[in-house]
Structures are given as C-alpha cells and as structure tokens.
Amino acid sequence: MKHQTLATVLCISLAVTGCATTGQSGMGTDNTAMKCGLMAAGGAVLGGLVDGKRGVLRGAALGLGACAVMEVVSSRTRSSDEVEKAYRSGNRNTLPASARLVSYASSVSPRGQVVSGNPVKVQSTIRAVSGTGEPIREIREVLVAYAPDGKEFKRGEKVVDTTGGSGEFSNNFTLRLPQGAPEGNYRLQTDIYLNGKLASTNNADFSLVQAGQQRAVAAR
C-alpha cells in the first residue's frame, strides 16, 4: 500500500515538473536539468513522508531514474578473421563447437568519486568467436544502474554488432544523472548476452558527491 501511495504521489510530482527523458546527448537545457533536480528532491521528500528514511532514498531514486540519460556507442575493433586466427593459434587450429565469449573487460571512469552533474562512462571490450556448429548471431550488452538504496533505477542495452560472426568490439555507455540525484554509493552491473544467453557479468561502483566535497582518493 505504501508503494502504491508513493508511486501515485510521484506521478503527480512528474506531472507538475513536466520532466521528460530524452535519448539525445546531454541533459538538454538548464531548465530541464533544474526540473529534474527538483523532481529528485521532491521524490525524496514525498518518499520520506510515506516510508521514512528508506522512502527518502527510494523516492529520490525513482525521480532520478525518470530523468537520468543513458547513451551507448559501439564499434568493431578487430575483424572476424583476426579473432578466429588468434583463437585457432591457441587451440590446435580449431574453433569451438559452440559460439564462445573469449574475453570481456569493462572499466568505469571517473574511478571512485563522481561529482554531481558529471557523466559516468563505462567502456567494455568484448571478444567472441563463432563455433563450428553455432555461429554468433547476436552480442548484446546490458548496463543496469542501482541507486544507493540498492534499487535498479536505469537500464540500457545495445546490440554491439548487427552483422553477426566473430569479432572484437568496443561498447561505451555514458550515464548522466540529473542535478539533485542523491549522494551515496551507486553500483553498475554489465551483462553480456551471446545469442540470447547470459555469458558474463561485471560489477563496478562509484560514489556520488556534490561539487567541493570531493575527498582525496588514494592511488591504486
């Protein structure tokens, strides 16, 4: 019942602020960013009225999820022949029977702390090879963002190559949180699906802080 009440109130808040998410680069005008910030803050207040401290985080997360923007760009970095030749050289000149994810690595920037208003970038390198009995039909990466309360608030996905077959690919997500997004630790989970099946998962996190509140991060 509390969840229904919170959702109803937030819908009213959305109507009042007139906030909308776009697929275009950036957050749009300063006016849109201001509205999104007000909505995130308003969601936190309304959530607090409904469910105390937990409601504050959940309400703010619902607000930022509505106005956060996620952009994705993909490119091929190695050809099918190059990837298959490299695989054969380490596997007695044979290819696997089924399509296989050879390697998958992802990194987040900036690392550690992110100042509110700045974008968060997730870059992935994906290498996969077709099998003798199962060619690669589709490689898809999904990014799921979790708010400080652990709830999912934004999801984006991209088919990294539409031609099929072996190859190495670069996939880049850019997540832009609205002004007013709640501070705290955010988690990012990336999943690779090979021919529709989950092949690998990576996790990373970052801490969102307001400008001027950055803490020194020890070099790793």
In a domain, 31, yes or no: no
In a domain, 21, yes or no: no
User: Percent of the chain having pLDDT more than 70?
Assistant: 67
Distance of CA 135 to the CA centre of its chain: 28
Report pLDDT digits (tens) over 43-99: 444 444 444 444 444 555 556 777 889 999 999 999 999 999 999 999 999 999 999
Task: State the total domains in the chain.
Answer: 1
DSSP single-letter state for residue 31: H
What pLDDT is recorded for position 82?
A: 98
Distance CA 57, CA 183 (A): 10
In a domain, 33, yes or no: no
Residue labelled with tokens 């996969």: 128
In a domain, 30, yes or no: no
- DSSP structure string for 166-213: SEEEEEEEEEEPPTTPPPEEEEEEEEEEETTEEEEEEEEEEEEE-TT-
In a domain, 133, yes or no: yes
In a domain, 37, yes or no: no
In a domain, 99, yes or no: yes
What pLDDT is recorded for position 111?
A: 86
Q: Identify the CA nearest to 127 among candidates 109, 106, 143.
A: 106
- Categorize the per-residue pLDDT at 211 as very low, low, confident or very high, splitting at 50, 70 and 90: confident
81, with CB counted inside 10 A (0-12, 13-18, 19+), is exposed
**What is the CATH number for 67?**
2.60.40.2550
* Of the candidate ranges 7-21, 69-83, 135-149, the one whose mean pLDDT is the lowest: 7-21
The distance in angstroms from the start CA to the end CA of the chain is: 46
Distance CA 157, CA 121 (A): 14
Under 8 Å CB-to-CB from 124, ≥6 apart: which residues? 104, 105, 106, 141, 170, 171, 172, 173, 190, 192, 202
pLDDT for residue 137 is more than 90: yes
In a domain, 102, yes or no: yes
Report pLDDT digits (tens) over 24-48: 333 343 443 444 544 444 444 444 4
Provide mean pLDDT across the span 145-173. 94
Give buried/exposed letters for 176-186 (b at 16+ CB in 10 A, else e): bbbbbbbeeeb
Task: Answer with the residue of higher pLDDT: 184 or 217.
Answer: 184
pTM: 0.73
